[in-house]
Amino acid sequence: MARGSRRVRGKRRSRKRQEVWGWGAAGAVVVAVVVVRFVGDHPGWAMGMACLLVVMVAGGLVLRHRVIQAARQRFLAANAELEKVDQMSGTEFEHLVAERMIADGFRQVRERGGSGDGGVDITAVAAGHGRYAVHCKRYSKPVGAPDVRNFLGALANAFAGHTGILVTSSRLTKQARLEALGAREPLILVERDRLADWLLGSASLLPARSARMLTEEEAT
């Protein structure tokens, strides 16, 4: 009985599929007939619609090409910036970050330097966002958890009340990222990819500017 019922259900499903295909084919024939009659009765309109379709397709292809080219240019520019960074010393990298912070809208940007800075290389202020402490790592290897813990210690003591920003030319290890994001006051992380966007001016570390730039990018 079970096998018989399954066969019946299978036949019903097959019949329904055939009916759907049949109705679809009939609909396609009707549409084709209507289009042919319309073209025959209104050749001018048909020609105009055909031209409009061609223009729309061509415009879409041109737009797609421009988007691809723009993305390619951004990719090449980002790589060029990162190649420059990779040739810098730690001090030069700190200076670059400080300059970019000024361009980004930070004020009272001060390079601290030295080995007794508790991991803080730059301090700055942003109107409406308080004080910031920045730790720069011009590394070729990933930044590890000990570096993050050292920086968090400075933020909890000598630089209490500052928002921490960790900027690196490399990336963080998984454990380092977990510690950075799991802190009482999560760090702002600027790893390699985000660093490239920031250096090119297409990203910001200030929340208000970052949101505005994202909105403008979506609009374009």
Q: Does residue 129 sit in helix, strand or coil?
A: coil
Asked whether the whole model's pTM tops 0.85, one would answer: no
What is the average pLDDT value for the chain, to the nearest integer? 78
Cβ pair 192, 92 in contact under 8 A: no
Is residue 178's pLDDT more than 90? yes
Q: How many CB atoms lie within 10 A of CB 128?
A: 7
Asked if 182 contacts 72 with a C-beta cutoff of 8 angstroms, the reply is: no
Q: Strands 130-137 and 122-126: what pairing?
A: antiparallel
Among the ranges given (8-12, 40-44, 101-105, 208-212), the one the predictor scored with the smallest mean pLDDT: 208-212
Task: pLDDT band for 207, please (50, 70, 90 cuts).
Answer: confident
The answer to whether 132 and 126 have CB atoms below 8 angstroms apart is yes
Q: Considering only residues 126 and 37, tell me which one the structure prediction assigns the higher pLDDT.
A: 126
Residue 148: CB atoms within 10 A of its CB come to 27
Position 65 scores a pLDDT of 44
Residue 54 scores a pLDDT above 80: no
d(CA 95, CA 111): 7
* Mean of pLDDT values over 104-122: 85
Highest average pLDDT, of 8-12, 36-40, 58-62, 68-72, comes from 36-40
Residue 192: which of 77, 73, 79, 113 has the closest Cα?
79
Of residues 128 and 209, the one with the higher pLDDT is 128
Find the mean pLDDT for residues 142-159: 94
Q: What is the CA radius of gyration of the chain?
A: 30
Average pLDDT over residues 119-148: 93
Question: Residue 21's pLDDT is what?
Answer: 73
Average pLDDT on 74-100 reads 83
The answer on pLDDT for 199 being more than 80 is yes
Say what percent of the chain tops pLDDT 70.
Answer: 61
Distance of CA 80 to the CA centre of its chain: 19
